[in-house]
Homo-oligomer: A and B are copies of this chain.
């Protein structure tokens, strides 16, 4: 019987505007990447994670956790990326359970080529239209939401930086 509070006017306006912006942003990024690099945004993110991982490799489970992806989703995605030669899956001898994924040179090349256009789009749609202050605000807001969205957020959201990449 928890008390239900509706959204007040300001919340309502904010919510609809936010939803619309996010919807359009997502569509725009996906469209640009698919069009220019033949890859959905989610796949791009997989390559980014792998490119930053030590040794350019991770286990399937660890990669899934980093991306907050279901094992299933990653498995499907990996099948496609592997068929395209972007990544390679293999077992380490002595462990017949774990599967390791590694981004190939071809994958790195594709990623680098895709990154330019992608970053340009992100800049155009987001950072070019926000003030420095708004960027900081957005950061804070996103972190707050993550607190509720990702309660077991013990899991890191990206691997400890040591690579030189910067693709999103």
Q: Please classify the interface of chain A as helix (H, G, I), strand (E, B), loop, or mixed, using the class held by over half of its residues.
A: helix
Query: Within the complex, which residue of B28, B141, B149 is in contact with A24, where a contact is CB–CB below 8 Å?
Result: B149
Residues of B near A143 (CB, < 8 A) are 17, 21
Given A14-B142, A23-B68, decide whether A148 and B136 contact each other with a Cβ distance below 8 A: no
Residues of B near A2 (CB, < 8 A) are 120
| B137 contacts A149, C-beta separation under 8 Å | no
| A137 contacts B137, C-beta separation under 8 Å | yes
Of A13, A17, A20, A28, most buried by chain B (CB within 10 Å of CB) is: A20
Within the complex, what minimum Cβ distance (angstroms) separates A31 from chain B? 11
Given A21-B146, A138-B14, A138-B141, decide whether A4 and B116 contact each other with a Cβ distance below 8 A: yes
A16 within 8 A of B: yes
A75 within 8 A of B: no
| B168 contacts A7, C-beta separation under 8 Å | yes
A92 within 8 A of B: no
The contact string, 1 if C-beta is below 8 Å from chain B, for chain A 76-120, is: 000000000000000000000000000000000000000010011
Within the complex, what minimum Cβ distance (angstroms) separates A162 from chain B? 15
21 A/B residue pairs, CB under 8 Å, sorted by A: A4-B116, A5-B123, A7-B123, A10-B136, A10-B139, A11-B135, A14-B136, A15-B127, A16-B157, A17-B142, A17-B157, A18-B139, A20-B146, A21-B143, A21-B145, A23-B68, A124-B148, A125-B145, A129-B144, A129-B148, A138-B141
